[in-house]
Amino acid sequence: MISKILIANRGEIAARIIRTCKEMGIQTVAIYSEADKDAPYVEMADEAYLIGPPQVKESYLNVDKIIETATESNVDAIHPGYGFFSENGKFAKECEKIGIRFIGPTSHVMDMMGNKIEARKAMKAANVPIVPGTEDAIPTAEEAVEIAKHIGYPIMLKASAGGGGIGMQVVNNDEELQKAFQSNAKRAEMFFGDGSMFLEKKIEQARHVEIQLLADRHGNVVHLFERECSIQRRNQKVLEEAPSPYISDETRLKMGQAAVDAAKSIGYTNAGTVEFLVDREENFYFLEMNTRIQVEHPVTEEITGIDIVKEQINIANGKELAWKQEDLSYNGHAIEARIYAEDPKTFFPSPGHIKEFDVPKGRNIRLETAVKSNYQVTPFYDPMISKLIVTGQTREDAISLLKETLEHTSIKGIKTNIPLLLEIINHEQFLSGNTTTTFIEEHFSPIKKK
Amino acid sequence: MNEVKAMMAGNVWKIVVAVGDTVEEDQDIVILESMKMEIPIAAEESGVVKEIKVQEGDFVNEGDIIAIIES
């Protein structure tokens, strides 16, 4: 049984994981860089170790240092959170080598899903619908143009090893494709050490809907329904909700089943998410699988009453899932708003000193935060400083509580996206639930600096 | 003479001009990396790059001088 966990992460997710560990009576070890020495999560952990300077390569992505800290602090498991090493098969292998459990799927499955071309092949084999496109990496721009004739524009050019929108571009004709191919392959090579590119048909007016999965080590897989995550900018989510206000019960059932089938066919274990694009006719296509806990997992927890981090630890302990699919249901509606340290108009980051951080408390208000009052937000990491999750009996209740909470939130000293969040949730299209992934781009494009 | 200043704290990711280059108003001088975003810092006036005060990889604070442009 796991009795002590090192959290190989920082910020709000480290705090979130520590909280569940405390509830389960598990000891926690935090790691932190020089930039995070005053972070709230560091204080929460039973033990905390400085692992290096602010730059992620020398701290949160320093394999040797993290493994050394895990060994010296005598933990029996590592929780990777999201980002950093959470989808890194090599890191998981390093943990296994020294007898420390990695809380996540096997390194083999992680590597397969981390490679987008391999993932597409695996999904096709499992009869999960995939976006029409190429099966293999395309060696040259000329060949890409040739293949594009069969797919039809607009086309998404993607890096096989890509993530966070890097190496990805929409192209509308041969000329654009030719140009984008070289530059994106180069970028992908630089960022991920792998410049393989492939093509996918661009699904127009798409929504992003994803299915949360739990899979134990005994072959049982259940889904915890869907999350609607169409409100994005630069391929980063801003608002997420569960359930989706758009898809029908029939589509919900089909998507859940497809995700479960996908997980079973690749031998998936632990918590994971299958992301789909859904078109106007509610056809859905596999986008990618995230082999880790997601930023937006709390909305699922709020409507199902299931603590996903606790289940991750239970699964890592070899326990069987406590439910069959038919035992699971959801109640109410939850929305998560990601609070970013950024200018709401230009979308530029806004690091700096937070003088005051005050978010209203309430029964249906959940705050996951990386920061506090009198705290320095450094430029070294992601601009997301907090997540605000609200729950209501209906979507209308949740929206009105979110509005109320955001209006009474006071963050002084840095700029945040709260004005943008308020504009979005007051927008007629959001209120009707009729939003696609281009919603922010269409209505709230950043104002160009003069 | 015109100073190009960092509008926010971050790391200098790329320097895209060289000393002696003629630059236009709004032309990018360096690209900063802050909070995982690439932030181009541009010249406010056209002129010739007289001095670049940073190197790739350097950390700069908001308000730090990055380059000097002679108009």
Q: How confident is the model at residue B66 (pLDDT cuts 50, 70, 90)?
A: very high
Delineate the domains of chain A, giving CATH numbers in brackets.
4-103 (3.40.50.20), 132-201 (3.30.1490.20), 207-443 (3.30.470.20)
Distances (CA, A) of A107 to A1, A94, A188: 21, 10, 22
Between CA A48 and CA A73 the distance in angstroms is: 10
Which residue in the set A164, A379, A449 is minimally distant from B35, CB to CB?
A379
CA distance A96 to A106: 10
Residue A280 annotated in active site: no
The mean per-residue pLDDT over the stretch A270-277 comes to 97
Give A341's contacts in chain B (Cβ within 8 Å): 35
**Rounded CA separation A316/A102 (Å):** 8
The band of A272, judged by pLDDT with boundaries at 50, 70 and 90, is very high
What number is the average pLDDT over the span B51-56? Answer: 95
Residue B15, phi then psi, degrees to nearest 5:
-105, 120
Q: Which domain holds residue B50?
A: 2-70
What pLDDT sits at residue A346? 83
Whichever domain contains B58, its CATH number is 2.40.50.100
A351 to B36: CB separation less than 8 angstroms, yes or no: no
What domain count does chain B have?
A: 1
Catalytic residue among A292, A363, A366, A395: A292
Long-range contacts of A351-354 (CB under 8 A, 24+ apart): A351/A377, A351/A378, A351/A379, A351/A383, A351/A414, A351/B8, A351/B9, A351/B10, A351/B34, A351/B35, A352/A376, A352/A377, A352/A413, A352/A414, A352/B9, A352/B62, A353/A377, A353/A413, A353/A414, A354/A385, A354/A411, A354/A412, A354/A413, A354/A414
Span A274-278, average pLDDT: 96
pLDDT over threshold 50, residue A449: no
Whole-number pLDDT of residue A447: 58
| Average pLDDT over chain A, rounded to an integer | 94
Instruction: Kindly report, residue by residue over A384-437, the tens digit of the pLDDT.
Output: 999 999 999 999 999 999 999 999 999 999 999 999 999 999 999 999 999 999
Find out whether A39 and A363 touch, Cβ atoms under 8 Å.
Answer: no
Is residue A105 predicted with pLDDT exceeding 60? yes
A341 touches chain B (CB under 8 A): yes
- Per residue in A302-361, pLDDT tens? 999 999 999 999 999 999 999 999 999 999 999 999 999 998 888 889 999 999 999 999
Please report the pLDDT score of residue A164 as a whole number: 66
Q: Please list, in sequence order, all residues whose beta carbon lies within 8 angstroms of the beta carbon of residue A117, skipping any fewer than 6 positions away.
A: A135, A136, A137, A160, A196, A198
Determine what percent of chain A is predicted with pLDDT higher than 70: 98
Contact of A247 with A230, CB cutoff 8 Å: no
Pick from A56, A183, A348 the residue to mutate for testing the B interface (most B CBs within 10 Å).
A348
The CB-side HSE value for A288 (13 A sphere, CA atoms) comes to 22
Rounded to 10 degrees, the C-alpha dihedral A283/A256/A299/A42 comes to -120
* Distance (Å, whole) CA A291 – CA A113: 7
Partners of residue A354 on adjacent β-strands:
A375
Mean pLDDT of A283-287: 95
Among all chains, which residue has been given the structure tokens 């932030």? B39
Shortest CA distance from B10: residue in chain A: A379
Contacts of A164 in chain B (CB under 8 A): 36
Interface of B with A (CB under 8 A): 7-11, 34-37, 39, 42, 62
Give CA–CA dist A215/B22, Å, rounded: 60
What is the mean pLDDT of the segment spanning A2-26? 98
- Say yes or no: A53 contacts chain B, CB-CB below 8 A: no
Residues in chain B: 71
Q: How far apart are CA A390 and CA A254, in angstroms?
A: 27
pLDDT digits (tens, 9 = 90+) for A69-97: 999 999 999 999 999 999 999 999 999 99
- CB contacts of A351 in chain B (<8 Å) are 8-10, 34-35
- Whether the CB-CB separation of A5 and A77 falls below 8 Å is answered with yes
Q: Is A282 left (phi over 0), alpha (psi -120 to 50) or beta?
A: left
Contact B10 A383 (CB under 8 A): no
Decide if pLDDT at A448 tops 60: no
**For A329-342, what is each residue's pLDDT tens digit?**
999 999 999 999 99
Specify the pLDDT at position A204. Answer: 87
Q: Quick one: average pLDDT of A92-117?
A: 94
Q: Cβ–Cβ of A351/B11 closer than 8 Å?
A: no
Residue A201 has pLDDT above 60, yes or no: yes
